[in-house]
A and B are shown apart, each in its own frame.
Chain A
């Protein structure tokens, strides 16, 4: 394919093969059936399907949001069903699953790269299989063999979709406050009653069944997060032979009308209100996954992959926005360079202006840095599962735990900023619906909110991953970054200079963390008050590391692509890296501005 405005296959290949050496994974037993040609074919197939089926419906799905028809059924665009069917038929839903459930055991790194084409083409349309894969992943990991066969396999085969029902109207960030109840029945099943809010893909006619994974409390469960259990609640009941029975007592109360992601239905669902009466009475029939009261533990087990994938979506939206704004800036002419006073001289392309170049370089450094961050974290998922020594697996696990809140939040912040800049590059045109960049911005604005808000990610990083972990994960990260700095030093020149700047930031992060840890011993609230600047400083540091790694991977290579890598890294080090120190200064000062504030003065 020529230059595509969806994602850059060239950059993906660079990350996978020239930087992360993904082919070395193929020596491992889990991936032995794969070769470079199968990886390439999956990437090519994904790009083709994304460009031919998903991209064309993206705007229509935005302007025609789903609605509830007179018969109470959700109505979506015909093109949506067609695109999803093409995706199902391709077998791609089975990509990362075990052979035992019909999976293809594709490395997660390659899956994540392939998926980014769909996320860039239509994040809202792709949300159905995206959520379903997360759902089946959880059932496959913690369900009984029967549950896996009955509920995960149809998703792996691309026949059903699934949801994650965590949030309730009164409980979003604080899941310990959920009130949905589950009562045990004599036949071993459970009956659920309660209301779930914001459930993506919660109802639609795109598949014959929807598998809801629902968090609920059982009688006598301890208060708080240690009293939450996980249940499988199908929309349509499944008979013992796998055939579909009657409707379960799950009903659609209404659809939410969103700023973006409009191809995805977002629902308020009632469980057990009696709209349907399985076995002649109200109550949604559910099946307990694993043990009682361990629901959040199971959720968290799959959280790393899920959050990396959400970050990937944010990155993909930023990436495609960058490519669109670049294409526009190359074509559109306006004004003359500073110093060229001849009004008769022809106007120059936007790319001739320093400030437009700034906006393009900023986007490039965010989106390519984001892609690098995501694929590195995805590589850690593969490493955690398949590394050949226990030590390597443990190390990958510690690093991944630490980097997950960053992989989720960094692209959700900076690739939204990239979308904002993409609009700016187009000027007035960027503010119209004639160009895709305004939609990309609206779509992307969800990503700092769901799957744990930005603020919750900050608390996760500083509270749980850094202070709660005794510094193991952070220690691993610092060692990895310092090793890269040492390699940069050997190369010399600009690369070594980047390394010196990064080394200074690492030094400052280490000292600041020690300082905050000491303060946390006396006053945890104070220590966590500035968790967000801590998250943002650490995120920038990690992406600065990604850029140094990519400059090293490009070392000695010539041509526009590699020069582009060096240019974007130069931008990131000149314009962004200094902010790491400023943010860490604030954190180290244990500033009390927010803590001491009387909300009454706001």
Chain B
């Protein structure tokens, strides 16, 4: 028996134009968005776990009105129920505040064994929320799982680093984050799309979670984005014409850039 809470994030479509609000945070309201692709791996892994045993998958999102799309997509893929924390006060929250909201929401869900997440969000790309969450919930964390096996209430994961591969395990309740190597996420099916319409989704405000407005949002953020600018476009590059001395010219170029 494993009930799993999967964190899903609604992110701006990476193929669309990205815009920012006046406080330099990513505009999440005025743009096309979708369920973060990296979270699809977490949804898939959670579904595989409950399908192999039993239990239910609850997807949890914190975000504006449209973030409901991320919940709906996860329900269409196969998750059983959804929770959406929706509150104007949350806008502009940093990772620390977001982890607070998530932790309180998970405590309110109460009946869970595993909290599963993707390896990062495709917009913020910080990868810190799972660790913060584990700290707030007082749970062990198994992060960056590229393989996962369950024995009883013990979970063992493989964690691939640059130089070494670790095998780690933990027992009892825990936070697990999975990479994009762990599985191949399924598509929703037509049946899943129809079934999702009837699945329960609860919407909670921060008051429902016992959080004060002053604990979240831009004002509570530990860091502030002062400015941003797009990386300058790549320059055309330098063409070396080989007049018998191409090798020398290349070497000179590399030396001038301190590559050799």
Q: Which residues of A contact B (CB under 8 A)?
A: 1-3, 33, 35, 37-38, 41-42, 45, 48-49, 86, 89-92, 94-95, 104
Q: Write the nearest CB–CB distance from A546 to chain B, whole angstroms.
A: 27
> How distant is B184 from chain A, measured CB to nearest CB, in Å?
11
A104 and B15 within 8 A (CB): no
**Those 8 A-B pairs whose CB atoms lie nearest each other, nearest first:** A2-B15, A91-B190, A41-B193, A91-B189, A2-B16, A91-B191, A90-B189, A38-B193
Say whether B13 faces chain A, with CB atoms less than 8 Å apart: yes
- Nearest to A86 among chain B residues (CB) is B187
Q: Is the CB of B193 within 8 A of A42?
A: yes
Question: In angstroms, how far is the closest chain B Cβ from the Cβ of A79?
Answer: 16
What is the predominant secondary structure among interface residues of chain A facing chain B?
Answer: helix
The reply to whether A90 and B15 contact each other, CB–CB distance below 8 Å, is no
Check: B117 CB closer than 8 A to any chain A CB.
no
B17 nearest CB neighbor, chain A only: A2
Q: Does B76 contact A (CB under 8 A)?
A: yes
Residue of B nearest to A105 (CB): B194
- With A1-B13, A41-B76: A48-B187 Cβ-Cβ less than 8 Å: yes
Known: A2-B13, A2-B16, A41-B76. A94 touches B194 (CB 8 A): no
Chain B residues whose CB sits within 8 angstroms of the CB of A41 once the complex forms:
72-73, 76, 188, 193, 196
A residues near B196, Cβ cutoff 8 Å? 37, 41
Residue of B nearest to A95 (CB): B190
Sample (26) of A-B pairs whose CB atoms are under 8 Å apart: A1-B13, A1-B15, A33-B194, A33-B197, A35-B197, A37-B72, A37-B196, A41-B72, A41-B73, A41-B76, A41-B193, A41-B196, A42-B190, A42-B193, A45-B187, A45-B188, A45-B193, A86-B187, A90-B187, A90-B188, A90-B190, A91-B189, A91-B190, A91-B191, A95-B190, A104-B190
Does the CB pair B197–A92 fall under 8 Å?
no
In the assembled complex, the Cα of A34 lies from the Cα of B13 at a distance in Å of 26
**Cα distance, A328 to B13, chains bound together (Å):** 23
Nearest A residue to B76 via CB reads: A41
Q: State A90–B194 Cα separation when bound (angstroms).
A: 12
Residues of B within 8 A of A104 (CB): 190, 194
List, in ascending order, chain B residues with CB within 8 A of A91's CB: 189-191
Cα distance A38–B197 when bound, in Å? 8
Closest chain A residue to B191, Cβ basis: A91
- In B171-186, the 8 Å CB interface with A consists of none
Q: Which residues of chain B from 46 to 102 have any CB-CB distance to chain A below 8 Å in the complex?
A: 72-73, 76
Kindly state the separation between the CA atoms of A158 and B47 in the bound complex, as whole angstroms.
24
B13 touches A89 (CB 8 A): no
Q: What 20 additional pairs, Cβ within 8 angstroms, besides A2-B14, A104-B190? A: A2-B15, A2-B16, A35-B197, A37-B196, A38-B194, A41-B72, A41-B188, A42-B193, A45-B187, A45-B188, A45-B193, A48-B187, A49-B187, A89-B189, A90-B189, A90-B190, A91-B190, A91-B191, A92-B190, A104-B194
Q: Which residues of A contact B191 (CB under 8 A)?
A: 91
By a CB distance below 8 angstroms, the chain B residues around A49 are: 187
Give chain B nearest CB distance to A330 CB in angstroms: 16
- Rounded to whole Å, the gap between the CB of B194 and the closest CB of chain A is 6
Given contacts A2-B13, A35-B197, A38-B197, contact A94 B190 (CB under 8 A): yes
Residues of A within 8 A of B193 (CB): 38, 41-42, 45
- Contacts of B13-28 to chain A: CB distance below 8 A: 13-16
Residues of B within 8 A of A35 (CB): 197
Complexed CA–CA distance, A38 and B192 (Å) = 10
**In the assembled complex, which residues on chain B have CB atoms less than 8 Å from the CB atom of A45?**
187-188, 190, 193
B76 to chain A, nearest CB (A): 6
Q: How far is the CA of A3 from the CA of B14 in the complex (A)?
A: 11
Contacts of A90 in B (CB 8 A): 187-190
User: What residues of chain A lie closer than 8 Å to B197, measured between beta carbons?
Assistant: 33, 35, 37-38
Q: Provide the residues of chain B in CB contact with A48, threshold 8 Å.
A: 187
Distance between A265 CB and nearest chain B CB, rounded to angstroms? 27
Q: With the chains together, A21 CA to B25 CA distance in Å?
A: 37
- Residues from chain B with Cβ under 8 Å of A94 in the complex: 190
Complex contacts, B187 vs chain A, CB 8 Å: 45, 48-49, 86, 89-90
For B72, the chain A residues whose CB sits under 8 A away are 37, 41
Nearest-CB residue, chain A, relative to B15: A2
> Closest Cβ of chain A: how far from B69's Cβ, in Å?
9
How far does the alpha carbon of A86 sit from the alpha carbon of B188 in the complex, in Å? 11
CA distance A92 to B187 in the complex (A): 12
Write the chain A residue with the least CB distance to B68. Answer: A37
Query: Could you tell me which residues of chain B, from 185 to 228, have a CB within 8 Å of some CB in chain A?
Result: 187-191, 193-194, 196-197
A3 to B16, CA, bound (A): 8
Name the residue on B nearest A34 (C-beta).
B194
- Tell me, in angstroms, the Cα distance from A33 to B197 when the chains sit together: 9
Chain A: minimal CB distance from B28 (Å): 17
Tell me, in angstroms, the Cα distance from A334 to B188 when the chains sit together: 45
CA distance A1 to B34 in the complex (A): 9
Q: Distance in Å from the Cβ of B156 to the closest Cβ of chain A?
A: 30
Expressed in whole angstroms, the minimum distance between the Cβ of A435 and any Cβ of chain B is 21
Chain B residue at minimal CB-CB distance from A106: B190
**Would you give the shortest CB distance from B59 to chain A, in whole angstroms?**
16
- B-side contacts of A86, CB under 8 Å: 187
Give A176 Cβ to nearest chain B Cβ, in Å: 40
Cα–Cα distance between A49 and B186 once the two chains are bound (Å): 11
CB distance from B67 to the nearest CB of A (A): 15
Query: What chain A residues lie within 8 Å of B13 (beta carbons)?
Result: 1-2
**Distance A41 CA – B194 CA, assembled complex (angstroms):** 9
| A156 → chain B closest CB, angstroms | 11
Complex: A92 Cα to B14 Cα, angstroms: 27
Docked Cα-Cα span, A48 to B193, in Å, equals 14
Chain A residues lying within 8 Å of B189, measured Cβ to Cβ, are 89-91
Residue of A2, A41, A91, A94 contacting most chain B CB atoms (<10 Å): A41
Q: How far is the CA of A89 from the CA of B187 in the complex (A)?
A: 9
The residue in chain B whose Cβ has the minimal distance to the Cβ of A3 is B15
Smallest CB gap from B34: residue in A: A1
Contacts of B15 in A (CB 8 A): 1-3
Chain B residues near A3 (CB-CB < 8 A): 15
In whole angstroms, how far apart are the Cα atoms of A37 and B197 in the complex?
A: 8
Which chain B positions have C-beta within 8 A of A92? Answer: 190
Question: For the complex, what is the distance from the CA of A91 to the CA of B190, rounded to whole Å?
Answer: 5
Contacts of A37 in B (CB 8 A): 72, 196-197
B residues near A33, Cβ cutoff 8 Å? 194, 197
Bound Cα distance A35, B191 (Å): 14
CB-based nearest A residue for B16: A2
Give the distance in Å from the alpha carbon of A49 to the alpha carbon of B193 in the complex. Answer: 15
- Please, how many angstroms separate the alpha-carbon atoms of A86 and B185 in the complex? 13
